Amino acid sequence: MVAAAAEFVTHRPYQSDHRSPARFIWSHVRRQPILIITMLIGAFSNGALASAIPYFTGQAFNAMLADQTQAVMQTIGSIALALFASQLIRSFLQLMRNGSSETFSQRLERDVRDELYASLLGKSMSFHDSQAVGEIMARVTNDVREVNFFMNPGMNLLVGSSMFLIMPILFSPGIHPALILTPLTFVILHVIVQYIFVRRLHPIAQQVRHNFGRMNARLAEALDGLQIIKGSAQEEQESERFDGLVDEVKGAFIRQGGIEAQYFSNLLLPLSIAAGLVHSAMLYQQGLIDIGGIVTYNGLLSLFGFPVFTSLNSLSRLALGLASAQRILAIINTETDLDRNEAGYNAPIHGDVVFEHVDFGYASDNLVLHDISFTARAGQTVAIVGQTGAGKSTVTKLINRIYDTRRGRVTVDGVDVREWNLKALRAQISIIEQDIFLYSRTIADNIAFGKPDASREEIIEAAKQAQAHEFISGFENGYETVIGQRGVTLSGGQRQRLAIARAFLTNPPILILDDSTSAIDSATEDKIQRAIYAAAKGRTTLLITHRLSQIRWADHIVVLRNGRVAAQGTHEQLLAGSDDYRRIFARYEGDAQSPSVSVQTSAD
């Protein structure tokens, strides 16, 4: 088995095979042995009992031709009763087969989707940074659904129809040994046609899935940026771009239809039936078979109609299912540059954070951080300042291993973060970013996201510390209010206070505030500043901020310029000795006149 490195791996009672799409699907299929057996029993019995129809029909013809008396009606009645009983049994077995197949396919879809979702959660941010969200969504939804269709109706029809190919070969020699020639020839040619058909269809199926993924990615991107599209009056241009992708999807489906139209078995079927009729008539003239034998034999040959007509659909489903499984495996088998290091260092964090000559770049050939070195002692508040694009946010993402350094190292309590158990490390670090992400859940669920077992009292206390309790209580449903996706039903300040409450609830030894008060109105800023100041006590706090009210009470300040440490020290030291810091200070000096700054300074 191929095991891809991952930040997060779910513990499953089974291990799927990632070596090829067919092996991947089979590794999931074999986990349902009872359903496999019931499907095979149902498929075989369907073919066998379908063969009973031409057999009993042939017997009825012989009875009518042999006897014109009243007794023939009794014989015909008995044959009809036997025919009815056989088809009644067949219908119940078909119900078992189709029920098993549908259950099978739904379980397969569930398991594959679970595995893919867990794999996506386990990928590093470097992986996700390079992926279009819509493309990923297409794989998680439509491609996984195609794997479902691979099983039902695809494999279900293929297995069921294969039994209809076997029955004429099995029963024709019972009429006359020579009659096996036509069905055997047809089956051999039909299998060859199917092989060629799948070989031609597979690359087209891959193109269909690829084009659909591109179209879905464009759709997701357009919807995510809908406000920009409308604000720029670009609806018509975006519609034209999307229409082009829709045409590519349409074109791929048309090419698929063109190959399906050339399915040669559609011609083989009538040729085989005609050949079988001529052959059986010749044997009748020679006195080797009777009229009932001709009827039975040609009825058996007519069974080939089911596999011919259904195989066109089932093989298309198989091709699309395998193409989709290949796209799913492309994600699962992608190794990330991070792993969870389950056997790594695991201990309560004291709070010492040290950067030692750190280089980093999102792309290997383009560094954004150069030789970064600074220390944040346990309990200290360290402010990281600099102009936009200096690398401030990137620095913080190296502490909890969202990314790994290219050179140098970051240590927490003297241990390289790469040697920490990843879950233990991240569970003790809280990050509040400028771009707050909230889920379409209740306010209480959003606050308790990092601590799902938190009591309502703990949630309320965290909200009070973050100055959020008052506005939450103003909602009709209070903490049970369901907020919109990404918190669009809340103001920027409300979203940030909920994020701060979420951090307070987990009570982390290390707290990272990435410009987290930028959207807070001036009336609320004083309360938030006091809450942050209180939260910073007793824990290591890294501040990325333009608020001089926060910079001033930091124990240590690191000034970044173009991805390098330009200066570091206290506020007074930097004012005296750093031109870069003085420029930053001068730029935001107007903030120092705000009431929140004077209050915060007095708090210091």
Q: What is the pLDDT of residue 190?
A: 92
What is the C-alpha to C-alpha distance for residues 22 and 215, in angstroms, rounded to an integer? Answer: 26
Average pLDDT over residues 487-499: 76
Asked, for residue 1, whether it belongs to a domain, the answer is no
Q: What is the pLDDT of residue 2?
A: 38
Please give the single-letter amino acid code of residue 63. Answer: A
In the chain, the percentage of residues whose pLDDT exceeds 70 is 90
Split at pLDDT 50, 70, 90, the class of 592 is: very low
The pLDDT of residue 457 is above 50: yes
Split at pLDDT 50, 70, 90, the class of 594 is: very low
Average pLDDT over residues 480-508: 79
The pLDDT of residue 597 is above 50: no
Check whether residue 213 and residue 323 sit in a common domain.
Answer: yes
Domain of residue 519, CATH code: 3.40.50.300
What is the C-alpha to C-alpha distance for residues 408 and 406, in angstroms, rounded to an integer? Answer: 7
Asked, for residue 598, whether it belongs to a domain, the answer is yes
Check whether residue 385 and residue 308 sit in a common domain.
Answer: no
The pLDDT of residue 590 is above 60: no
Residue 129 corresponds to which tokens in the numbers above?
């940074």
Check whether residue 161 and residue 264 sit in a common domain.
Answer: yes
Split at pLDDT 50, 70, 90, the class of 528 is: low
Q: What is the pLDDT of residue 339?
A: 74
Average pLDDT over residues 96-109: 89
The pLDDT of residue 364 is above 90: no
For residue 567, the cross-strand partners are 559
Q: What is the pLDDT of residue 139?
A: 85
Q: What is the pLDDT of residue 580?
A: 83
In the chain, the percentage of residues whose pLDDT exceeds 90 is 31
For residues 533 and 517, is the Cβ–Cβ distance under 8 A?
Answer: no
Domain of residue 314, CATH code: 1.20.1560.10
Residue 427 corresponds to which tokens in the numbers above?
């569970």
Check whether residue 144 and residue 287 sit in a common domain.
Answer: yes
Asked, for residue 197, whether it belongs to a domain, the answer is yes
What is the C-alpha to C-alpha distance for residues 216 and 248, in angstroms, rounded to an integer? Answer: 12
pLDDT tens digit sequence for 321-357: 888 899 899 888 887 767 778 888 999 999 999 999 9
Q: What is the pLDDT of residue 134?
A: 79
Please give the single-letter amino acid code of residue 191. Answer: V
Asked, for residue 518, whether it belongs to a domain, the answer is yes
The pLDDT of residue 49 is above 70: yes
Please give the single-letter amino acid code of residue 473. Answer: S
Domain final position from 271, 297, 332 = 332
Check whether residue 358 and residue 273 sit in a common domain.
Answer: no
As for how many domains the chain has, the answer is 3
pLDDT tens digit sequence for 282-293: 999 999 999 999
Check whether residue 112 and residue 258 sit in a common domain.
Answer: yes
Check whether residue 260 and residue 360 sit in a common domain.
Answer: no
Residue 31 corresponds to which tokens in the numbers above?
């986990």
For residues 119 and 332, is the Cβ–Cβ distance under 8 A?
Answer: yes
Check whether residue 31 and residue 65 sit in a common domain.
Answer: yes
Domain final position from 465, 497, 529 = 497
Does this model's pTM top 0.85? My answer is no
Average pLDDT over residues 225-235: 78
Check whether residue 113 and residue 203 sit in a common domain.
Answer: yes
Residue 198 corresponds to which tokens in the numbers above?
């799948």
Split at pLDDT 50, 70, 90, the class of 415 is: very high
Average pLDDT over residues 439-448: 89
Please name the helix (run of DSSP H) or strand (run of DSSP E) that holds residue 514, with its range, or none.
strand 510-514
Check whether residue 89 and residue 177 sit in a common domain.
Answer: yes
What is the C-alpha to C-alpha distance for residues 589 and 575, in angstroms, rounded to an integer? Answer: 12
Asked, for residue 5, whether it belongs to a domain, the answer is no
Average pLDDT over residues 376-397: 89
Check whether residue 287 and residue 187 sit in a common domain.
Answer: yes
Q: What is the pLDDT of residue 521?
A: 57
For residues 574 and 581, is the Cβ–Cβ distance under 8 A?
Answer: yes
Please give the single-letter amino acid code of residue 520. Answer: I
- Average pLDDT along the chain: 84
Q: Which of 544, 449, 514 is nearest to 487 (CA)?
A: 449
Phi, psi of 578 (to 5 degrees): -125, 115
Asked, for residue 341, whether it belongs to a domain, the answer is no
Q: Which domain holds residue 53?
A: 21-332
Please give the single-letter amino acid code of residue 286. Answer: Q
Asked, for residue 68, whether it belongs to a domain, the answer is yes
Average pLDDT over residues 203-215: 85
For residues 221 and 133, is the Cβ–Cβ distance under 8 A?
Answer: yes
* Crossing angle of helices 522-536 and 456-465, rounded to 10°: 110
Asked, for residue 13, whether it belongs to a domain, the answer is no
Check whether residue 81 and residue 103 sit in a common domain.
Answer: yes
Domain final position from 474, 497, 520 = 497
The pLDDT of residue 486 is above 70: no
